[in-house]
A and B are shown apart, each in its own frame.
Chain A
Amino acid sequence: MIGNIHLKQSAKGIRTKTLLLCIGLFVFEFLFAILASSSYIRADLAKNMKETPPMVSQMMGEGFADAVMKYSIMAFGYVHPFMLVLFILFIFFAFSQVITSEISSGAIGFTLSKPVSRNRIFFNLWIIIYIGLGLLSFSTFLSSFLGIVIFQGGQLSSAPFGNIAWNLFLVMIVVAGYVSILAATSDSGKILFTRGGVILVVLYLISMADPLWKPLEFISPISPFKYYIPMNLFLGGHVPTLTAVLMIGVSILMFGFAAFLFNKKDIAVG
């Protein structure tokens, strides 16, 4: 009962920020879809794309394949590596602020003076962050799909866009797992931002450099970015169920470990 009151209040605290993030991402993705569908790109690509891969045509139809190929080449071929980092860092900063405002600011002093357990506080954060990231993923799905439908036209299937949003969600919850561990051990938002930013960039670089340098193969599985496969998904692939289950499991374990650390932590505020 009291834990639910805390959950409701935490959700209220994050509501506006999540909404703004959703709108921001929606607009961003929508503009991206316009860019991908611009007449210049269409004309340029038309010269080079005489044929659609038969498997893709079979699965999705000619119009779809044409549209997504153009979109994917532009969006994820050229700009994707930079966009992804910005995207993830953006969400990391937004959500880590939510976590720190709950557990690393003076608010925690007030909250813990009431009969609410530290575990419950962390559980509530977990729920809120999962819902927030779910909404963000849905927002990117909706905007990219609508953008392509409106500006590209043709018979489109929403499945690849849905798969990408699902893939994005899985990556984000693992990133959130990392953030939760850092938040549980950092004494301030500033420390969390610095450490978290560096760690995420390193993880990203590992995933990028993995194909170039063999020894990284052993360490690259810990990078959530390694599991972000939008190109495959555009071409009709799926996130393997085992990978999805593992990513959810790892994320939950990370939150659990963070809760354990948070239970042992000295809270020097409040």
Chain B
Amino acid sequence: MNMQNIIETTNLTKYYKNGVVGIENLSLTVREGEIYGFLGSNGAGKTTTIRILMNLIFQTSGRAQIFGKDCVKQRLEICKDIGYLPSAVIPHRYMTGEGFLDYMGKLSGNGNQTQRRYLLDRFEFSERDFKRKVKDYSTGMARKIGIIQALQTKPRLLIMDEPTEGLDPVMQNTFYELIREYRDQGSTVFLSSHHLLEVEQICDRAGIIRNGHLVAVEKINDLARYKTRKIWIEFKSFPDRAELDSPLWEIMNLTDNSLEAKITGDIDSIIKMISKFNIRDMSISNPNLHEIFMSYYQENPK
């Protein structure tokens, strides 16, 4: 195993009891000091992969290693250096936020009060909220305390399953900043998400998983080429059909008063082009995961 690889899976396969494929022959590597986004829609196999890495479930075949150690046989050694955030909400409902962080810190054998204080401030956690029971927390607050739990020991590797679910946009940005800080200080981050923009914003590389198979591993800049955006225009008065033909877009749908097209050219040129039309409304939308997969398959047919 390459020493630079913090996570390495080889032909990792998980079949559930009812024959459902969790993941199949999944091989991926996460290098030291990078933020790796694991991108896929719901049920694609992201959580299955993470649970195998955390040794919560057992693979049917294949191998998973973290820090060059086997995830099954050497779990206890591996866990000392991992901060983990599951997708589930915090179940320790009878504890206060403070009690929960104390407990998890002690279990790590590495409770870092200074770091915890810093994180609480960054996530705007008041002393009063900190002393309240977890069962009284909103979804967002429970998520924040979960994130702080994972980060408080300054682990060498962070594994996070859809970490920003339930966070408001301001706190999402705080989270992104913190993740970058940790990366800059030498930590490696492996996070799953089904939001392309999130992965694009913070990750160095991304793996796209679909139906249990890793279909692509891309540098974030390369991922942009699959990001075909769409434009929708509603006209006050419909222009001549010939005026709408342009290499800047690929028309997908035309009605009596509207147009939907895939953007293939430069946005600035498109804006200039449509400025001569009489427009009632318009929008430009980002592609969803399905469309990205479609773009990927069109470019990489098997």
Q: Kindly state the separation between the CA atoms of A116 and B90 in the bound complex, as whole angstroms.
A: 18
B297 touches A (CB below 8 Å): no
A269 touches B (CB below 8 Å): yes
Residues on B with beta carbons closer than 8 Å to the beta carbon of A270? 51, 56, 86, 88, 91
**B86 lies within 8 A of A114 (CB):** no
Residues on B with beta carbons closer than 8 Å to the beta carbon of A106? 86, 88-91
B179 touches A (CB below 8 Å): no
Q: Kindly state the separation between the CA atoms of A13 and B76 in the bound complex, as whole angstroms.
A: 24
- How would residues 251 to 270 of chain A score, 1 for a CB under 8 Å from any chain B CB and 0 otherwise? 00000000000001011111
Interface residues of B in 74-90 (CB under 8 A from A): 75-77, 79-80, 82-84, 86, 88-90
B58 touches A (CB below 8 Å): yes
Residues on A with beta carbons closer than 8 Å to the beta carbon of B88? 106, 109, 269-270
- Contact pick for B103, options A9, A113, A117, A266, CB 8 Å: A9
A48 to chain B, nearest CB (A): 52
Residues on B with beta carbons closer than 8 Å to the beta carbon of A111? 107
Q: Chain B interface residue count: which class?
A: 20 to 34
B149 touches A (CB below 8 Å): yes
Closest to A3 in B: B107
**B56 lies within 8 A of A107 (CB):** no
Known: A115-B79, A269-B88. A110 touches B57 (CB 8 A): no
**B79 lies within 8 A of A105 (CB):** no
Residues on A with beta carbons closer than 8 Å to the beta carbon of B149? 110
Closest to B82 in A: A113
Closest to B107 in A: A114
B191 to chain A, nearest CB (A): 15
Q: Kindly state the separation between the CA atoms of A269 and B87 in the bound complex, as whole angstroms.
A: 9
B118 touches A (CB below 8 Å): no
Known: A5-B103, A105-B91, A109-B88. A267 touches B109 (CB 8 A): no
Interface residues of A in 93-118 (CB under 8 A from B): 101, 105-117
Closest to A270 in B: B86
Q: Kindly state the separation between the CA atoms of A264 and B72 in the bound complex, as whole angstroms.
A: 11
**B57 lies within 8 A of A114 (CB):** no
B201 to chain A, nearest CB (A): 26
Residues on A with beta carbons closer than 8 Å to the beta carbon of B82? 113
Residues on B with beta carbons closer than 8 Å to the beta carbon of A109? 54, 56, 84, 86, 88
B41 touches A (CB below 8 Å): no
A104 to chain B, nearest CB (A): 10
B106 touches A (CB below 8 Å): yes
How many contacting A-B pairs (Cβ < 8 A)?
76
B146 to chain A, nearest CB (A): 8
- Contact pick for A110, options B16, B55, B92, B106, CB 8 Å: B92
B54 to chain A, nearest CB (A): 6
- Contact pick for B76, options A5, A115, A269, CB 8 Å: A115
**B51 lies within 8 A of A2 (CB):** no
Residues on A with beta carbons closer than 8 Å to the beta carbon of B89? 106
B104 touches A (CB below 8 Å): yes
Q: Kindly state the separation between the CA atoms of A267 and B86 in the bound complex, as whole angstroms.
A: 12
Residues on A with beta carbons closer than 8 Å to the beta carbon of B258? none
A6 touches B (CB below 8 Å): yes
Residues on A with beta carbons closer than 8 Å to the beta carbon of B16? 266
Closest to A268 in B: B57
Residues on A with beta carbons closer than 8 Å to the beta carbon of B58? 264, 266
Q: Kindly state the separation between the CA atoms of A270 and B88 in the bound complex, as whole angstroms.
A: 5
Residues on B with beta carbons closer than 8 Å to the beta carbon of A115? 76-77, 79-80, 107-109
Q: Kindly state the separation between the CA atoms of A116 and B108 in the bound complex, as whole angstroms.
A: 9
Q: Kindly state the separation between the CA atoms of A165 and B108 in the bound complex, as whole angstroms.
A: 40
B151 to chain A, nearest CB (A): 13
B121 to chain A, nearest CB (A): 23
Residues on A with beta carbons closer than 8 Å to the beta carbon of B103? 5, 9
Given contacts A111-B107, A114-B104, A268-B57, could you give 16 more A-B pairs where the C-beta distance is less than 8 Å? A2-B106, A2-B107, A9-B103, A110-B86, A110-B91, A113-B82, A113-B83, A113-B84, A114-B107, A115-B77, A115-B108, A116-B107, A266-B56, A269-B88, A270-B88, A270-B91
Q: What are the nearest 6 A-B pairs in CB distance?
A: A113-B84, A106-B88, A114-B107, A266-B57, A106-B91, A109-B86
20 A-B Cβ contacts within 8 A? Answer: A2-B109, A6-B107, A13-B94, A106-B89, A106-B91, A107-B91, A109-B54, A112-B79, A113-B82, A113-B84, A115-B79, A115-B109, A117-B76, A264-B58, A266-B57, A268-B51, A268-B57, A270-B56, A270-B88, A270-B91
